[in-house]
Amino acid sequence: MPDEQIQKLIDTVVARGGYIKNLHGQKNVYYQINATYYSALGEDDRKMLLARALQLFMPGKPQIWYLDLFAGKNDYEAVKHAGPGGHKEINRTNLSSGQIEAMLKRAVVAQQLQLLQMRSRYKAFSADAFITVQSDTAHMVFAWQAAGQNAILNADLSTCAFTIEVTGTDGALLFRFVQK
């Protein structure tokens, strides 16, 4: 990414409550931005689900921080309690079983779990899948093909609308997820 885009991204995350760690105290030489994924996305469920869908259509094994799965927000009290250098605590909140139970009732959490189950359940996402990506400024289409299955993510980045469809060898619809 060009430096201007990197700076714009940093400015957006900071405006949404994130913290920046400079490399050895040097201003404008950043090595770490600390925020929860959900807060970095403006605590917007639609953006969270689109971001998760895009992540799950990337090759490799998706790595998901557990607090982000639960759409956890920046924890400013933890940062304050940790004192100087405690910026990392912003996204390291330990959730109680009661908090987890409550968060599991949120639609954004349940929908992320649906997307994770999709990724792990269908053979289209195998390591030897054929993957194509089509993209322009505001639209992306990811397609995975393997073992007679097709998985397609069709995303409008400007509106956060997207559709995912997984079809089987006979063209039968195996999974569908729509965010309008």
Residue 4: count other Cβ atoms within 10 Å of its Cβ.
8
pLDDT for the residue 129? 98
User: 79-110, pLDDT tens digit by residue?
Assistant: 999 988 888 899 999 999 999 999 999 999 99
pLDDT of residue 85: 80
Spans of the chain, pLDDT less than 50: none
Tokens 């509106």, located at residue: 159
Res 25: pLDDT: 61
CA distances from 103 to 43, 61, 106 (A): 14, 24, 5
What is the reported pLDDT for 31? 64
Closest CA to 30 of 45, 52, 44, 13: 13
According to the model, what pLDDT value does residue 5 have?
87
- Find residue 134's DSSP bridge partners: 141
pTM score, whole prediction = 0.89
CA distance 103 to 108: 9
Q: What is the pLDDT of residue 17?
A: 86
pLDDT of residue 76: 92
Q: Name, in order, each residue with C-beta under 8 angstroms of 175's C-beta and a sequence gap of 6 or more.
A: 118, 121, 122, 151, 164, 165, 166
pLDDT of res. 122: 98
Q: Which fold does the domain 3-179 belong to in CATH?
A: TIM Barrel (3.20.20)
Residue type for 133, please?
V
